[in-house]
Amino acid sequence: MGARGDGTVSTPAVRQRPDYLLLLAVAALVILGLDMVYSASYVLAHNSPTYGSDTYFLVRQALWAAIGMVLLLALQVVDYHLWQRLTVPLMGLTLALLAAVLVSHLGHAAYGAQRWLRLGPLPPVEPGEFGKLSLILYCADWLGRRRDRLGSFRATTLPFTLIVAVVCGLIVLQPDLGSAFVVAATAGAMFFIAGADLRHLLLVLGGGAAALVVLVLNAPYRFERVLAYMDPTKDPLGIGWNTLQAEIALGSGGLLGRGLGASRQKFYYLPNAHTDAIFAVIGEELGLIGAAAVILLFALIGLRGFRIALRAPDPFGALLAAGITAGLVSQALINIAVVTAVVPFTGIPLPLVSFGGSSLITSLMGIGLLLSVSRRASPPEPAVRAGQEAP
């Protein structure tokens, strides 16, 4: 038996095989993503002299996938407790980068938002994506150390809410309401799993919902998206365009799809076909069966991830695994819900599939940490919630 820095007593770590089923689901999504990024971006890359090659987006996505897989393999070998000592510096660095994005000569603007950071000759990076992972690490450590004070509003609920609000606020200023919602949902899930007082949690959720309403009402374009969600046919060539074109793509796919590479909506009908709307291209080319397969793969990641959390040997590992799983699954659900017109339109990538280096690398790093937790010994009878001690 040994004592950790948060005062908990844990059994010695026992190396096990990583969760191969989880790794298989992730690999399948990454490979599918490479194929769909090429299919969805081919027209744009071919017709624009800016890119100079039909495979412009594919080559970059493959490079980022290779970097992400190397980091995944490295992180799954390293004991995840190493990162528990670095949560505060990582959180400080995240806040600094999120603030730097808002500085005009450092931030890189595109699509009406300033979400990227320019670092010399390197491609722009999106600190908000890395911020999701660092916040999960920080919250897992912070909540794990306060298991005996989770029922206190002043000692735990209030400071935890302020921490999350600061990160979400910096992301909203970019503006990126979709990513801020994912961050808040992930943190809320971790707070619940840790053993939060449900009355406090409901109070925080109510405050978050009120803040969301204010943000929507104070930004005309957000309010217009809500109106387009209610009836996109009122402005089919304007604010309702994205929703209608995604529906056309999904409907055109039918059961089996048009076939790989045969999408018609990617010919400048579907905006951001290789990023936020890539699920619509999947539905058009692979049909209902292909779209359902993607959903099932994310469901498998969710099941294996929460299984790892339940079998983690300590609260930090349980909350870390739960946070990573909740973050990936919630972002995937929001992206799919947007494309299928279940919720109002917002720009957010499909994890492991959409084009984007920051999102892909960060997602694979999170999977690496998840696999690291899976390789540690499991208690024989895991606790249902991380705030409870397992026998």
285-324: per-residue pLDDT in tens?
Answer: 999 999 999 999 999 999 999 999 999 989 999 999 999 9
Q: Of 280, 318, 326, whose CA–CA distance to 301 is shortest?
A: 326
Local confidence band at 1 (pLDDT 50, 70, 90 cut-offs):
very low
The answer to whether 233 touches 244, Cβ cutoff 8 Å, is yes
pLDDT of residue 384 exceeding 80: no
| pLDDT greater at residue 185 or residue 376 | 185
SS3 114: strand
Q: Measured in Å, how far apart are the chain's first and last C-alpha atoms?
A: 14
pTM of the full predicted structure? 0.88
CB 167 within 8 A of CB 138: no
DSSP 172-232: HTTT-HHHHHHHHHHHHHHHHHHT--HHHHHHHHHHHHHHHHHHHHT-HHHHHHHHHHH-G
Query: What is the mean pLDDT of the segment spanning 189-204?
Result: 90
Residue spans of the domains in the chain: they are 15-374
390 pLDDT band, cuts 50/70/90, is very low
Q: What is the mean pLDDT of the chain?
A: 86
Q: What is the reported pLDDT for 127?
A: 85
Higher-pLDDT residue of 47 and 109 is 47
Rounded to whole angstroms, the Cα distance separating 210 from 48 reads 43
Distances in Å between the Cα of 71 and the Cα atoms of 7, 223, 329, 367, 369 are: 30, 40, 21, 10, 10
Q: Which range (23-32, 200-209, 301-310) has the least confidence? A: 200-209
For residue 380, name the pLDDT band (cuts at 50, 70, 90): very low
pLDDT beyond 80 at 3: no
pLDDT in tens, 327-377: 999 999 999 999 998 988 888 899 999 998 889 999 999 999 999 999 885
Given a cut of 80, whether residue 128 has pLDDT beyond it is yes
- The lowest-confidence range among 10-14, 235-239, 344-348, 374-378 is 10-14
Q: What are phi and psi of 248, to 5 degrees?
A: -65, -40
- Distance, CA of 198 to CA of 105 (rounded, Å): 44
Confidence band, pLDDT 50/70/90 cuts, at residue 120 = low
pLDDT at 113: 66
What's the confidence (pLDDT) of residue 230?
85
Task: Report d(CA 391, CA 382) in Å as an integer.
Answer: 7
Of 281, 279, 283, 282, residue with least CA distance to 268: 281
The segment with the largest mean pLDDT, out of 9-13, 33-37, 231-235, 259-263, is 33-37
